[in-house]
Amino acid sequence: MSDMGNAGQDGGSGRKLKIWAAAAACLAAVALVCAALFWKGIGAPPDESGASGSDVSGGGSSGSSAPAPDVTPPRLLGVRDLTVALNGTVSYRDGVSAEDDVDGPVVVQIDAAAVDLTAPGEYPVIYSARDAAGNRVEQTAIVTVVETATVDQGRDEPTEHDPSEGAGGGISLDQVTQEEVDRLSDQILGRITNSGMSQWEQAKAIFNYVNGHVKYVGSSDKSSWLIGAYVGFTRGRGDCYNYFACSKALLTRAGIPNVDLQRVGGNSRHYWQLVNTGDGWYHFDTCPHPNGYPLYAFMITEAQARAYTEQAAGVRKNYYVYDYAACPVQPEGMPEQPPAEGEEPGALPPEEIPGEGGQPPAGGEPGVPQDPVPSQEPGPQDPVTGLRPGEGAVTDGETDPTAPRPGQSGAEENPAGGWNPTMPPEQSGEGDGQLAA
């Protein structure tokens, strides 16, 4: 009996051990599962630096990332090539600025040490800007200094009285058509412009071409602007009317808006344009200017035109005066005060009348190549006539050597009556049939 009892006790102990082993195994399995879930939900154990795996990878919701460094330089805006007359002035900063993605507007530095305004040539001007992070941008523009011609040069050139002789390709001037002028214009534009140019760049190319191609000789056939353009293109000679007509033909074919202007209130004729390349209307005059008063009149403001009118009053009366009321557009820099009631159309305001001691409008608008040249005092009185240069009638060109002779651009009698800017030039010209050679 005792042996059977001992055997029963041993069996019970074995079963208990098996139960405890099974329970331990279950607990171990539960512990492993819990541990796996814990590390999966919380992340990997911290490394030696104390950062968890989720922090290192940047995937944790509680982590924060540092901002990316600024490596983008500023952008220079408005930098472009400039042209200035010999001994003239130029504003390098007009229309130029710099913007940075982070800092906003930043200062533009300009290095124009290489420019020599006393010698014709091309000179580099270096524009640069730097942001707070040290990123720097640099751009170089070219300033071209030109020795401008004057209307007093070549005034003794011979003129041809036969309007058909040598008129280019054997075409008689009375057979010149719009189609022929358009054809010539397209050929010229194909040489001096390209599709990558802006309208401003095309206008500058046109200005430089006409100013350099046509030689001033002092008289022309003003019966039609088409004839004026044709003669300027094919003969390369003429007066202000030919410069005006060639500019009109090229600007129009290039799709650049332009408006005809004619001098009023003076003792001579003059023709030029207002041009708009997308940022307002500016004066555009390719014709040379009088000796002692050089001007690169490309895209100048109304204020600059009026200042030049006063400066050149000693040799040309009302140089850039036109019928303001009849002009269909308003140029940039136009004074806000309209002419007084009853004032002669085209006349300058009283404070700007040449010889009245007034001052020209201060300053000029940005985005133009140069400011008008400083004024010069009228010359001494002539001991015989008692007149100063530009005063009284000049009949032979000898009393005032700088004044034009009769029959030349800047010397003809002004036609009676006002000028209508909508009237074609052929209806307001001389119609004398004489052609400049």
Domain CATH code at residue 119: 2.60.40.10
pTM for the full predicted model:
0.49
Quickly state the pLDDT bin for 403 (edges 50, 70, 90).
very low
Q: Is 113 exposed, middle or buried (0-12, 13-18, 19+ CB in 10 A)?
A: exposed
Calpha distance 32→23 (Å, rounded): 14
Is residue 289 predicted with pLDDT exceeding 50? Answer: yes
- DSSP symbols for 371-436: BPPPP----PPPTTT-PPTT-S--SSS-SSTTSPPTTSTTTSPPPSS---TTS-GGGTS-----B-
In a domain, 56, yes or no: no
Tell me whether residue 124 is in a domain: yes
For residues 425 and 245, the answer to whether their CB atoms sit within 8 Å is: yes
Cβ(287)–Cβ(244) under 8 Å?
A: yes
Residues 6 or more apart whose CB falls under 8 angstroms from that of 316 comprise 266, 268, 270, 290, 390, 410
In a domain, 55, yes or no: no
pLDDT (average), residues 261-275: 92
Question: Is 131 in the same domain as 160?
Answer: no
Residue reference for tokens 């001052």: 359
Ranking 96-110, 307-321, 325-339 by mean pLDDT, the lowest is 325-339
Q: In the predicted model, is pLDDT for residue 90 greater than 70?
A: yes
pLDDT at position 30, please? 75
From CA 95, how far away is CA 98, in angstroms rounded?
10
Residue 253 is predicted with a pLDDT of 96
More confident call, 417 vs 93: 93
Same domain, 199 and 331: yes
> 111 vs 235, which has greater pLDDT?
111
Residue 214: count other Cβ atoms within 10 Å of its Cβ: 27
What pLDDT sits at residue 301?
95
Whole-number pLDDT of residue 141: 93
pLDDT for the residue numbered 40: 61
Tokens 């819990």, residue located: 34
Classify burial at 104, counting beta carbons within 10 Å of its beta carbon; exposed 0-12, middle 13-18, buried 19 or more.
exposed
Instruction: Indicate if the pLDDT at residue 192 is higher than 60.
Output: yes
Residues 79 and 221 in one domain: no
Residues 121 and 33: their CA atoms lie apart, in Å, by 86
Confidence (pLDDT) at 343: 53
Q: Among the three residues 129, 145, 161, which one is the final residue of a domain in this structure? A: 145
- The answer to whether residue 161 scores a pLDDT higher than 80 is no
Q: Do 221 and 353 sit in the same domain of this protein?
A: yes
* Average pLDDT for 85-95: 79
Same domain, 300 and 361: yes
The average confidence (pLDDT) of the chain is 72
Judgement on whether residues 187 and 335 belong to the same structural domain of the protein: yes
Q: Could you tell me if residue 308 is inside a domain?
A: yes
**Bigger pLDDT: 66 vs 324:** 324
pLDDT of residue 144: 83
Task: Give, in order, the Cα–Cα distances in Å from 13 to each of 5, 17, 18, 23.
Answer: 13, 6, 9, 15
Domain contains 28? no
The span from the CA of 408 to the CA of 260, in Å, is 20
User: Tens digits of per-residue pLDDT, 113-146?
Assistant: 999 988 888 899 999 999 999 999 999 999 888 7
Structural domain span for residue 355: 149-376+401-437
Look at residue 39 and tell me whether its pLDDT is greater than 50.
Answer: yes
Averaged pLDDT for residues 263-269: 86
Q: Residue 175 in 3-state DSSP? A: helix
Residues 222 and 111 grouped into a single domain: no
CA distances from 66 to 58, 63, 69, 73 (A): 11, 10, 9, 20
Query: What pLDDT does residue 280 have?
Result: 96
Answer with the one of 103, 125, 145 that is the final residue of a domain: 145
Is the per-residue pLDDT at 256 higher than 80?
Answer: yes
Is 226 found in the same domain as 87?
no
Stretch among 23-37, 139-153, 159-173, 361-375 having the lowest mean pLDDT: 361-375
- Domains: count for the chain: 2
Least confident of 58-72, 136-150, 405-419: 405-419
169 and 239 share a domain?
yes
Given 101, 127, 145, the domain boundary residue is 145
Residues 214 and 112 grouped into a single domain: no
What's the pLDDT band for 64 if we cut at 50, 70, 90?
low
Mean pLDDT over 46-71 rounds to 59
CA distance readout (Å), 50 to 41, 43, 320: 18, 13, 81
Confidence of residue 364 (pLDDT cuts 50, 70, 90): very low
What integer pLDDT is reported at residue 20 of this predicted model? 76
| Residue 431 pLDDT > 70 | no
- Kindly state whether residue 25 falls inside one of the protein's structural domains: no
Whether 95 and 211 map to the same domain: the answer is no
Q: How far is CA 143 from CA 108, 116, 194, 348, 367, in A?
A: 18, 9, 21, 33, 14
Instruction: Say what the pLDDT of residue 24 is.
Output: 76
In the structure, what pLDDT confidence band is assigned to residue 413 with cuts at 50, 70 and 90?
A: very low
Residue 430 has pLDDT above 60, yes or no: no
- Per-residue pLDDT tens digits for 276-288: 999 999 999 999 9
Asked whether 280 and 295 are in contact (CB, 8 A), the reply is no
For 208-252, the pLDDT digits (tens) are: 999 989 988 877 888 899 999 999 999 898 999 999 999 999 999
186 & 313 share domain: yes
In a domain, 38, yes or no: no
Residue 41 maps to a domain? no
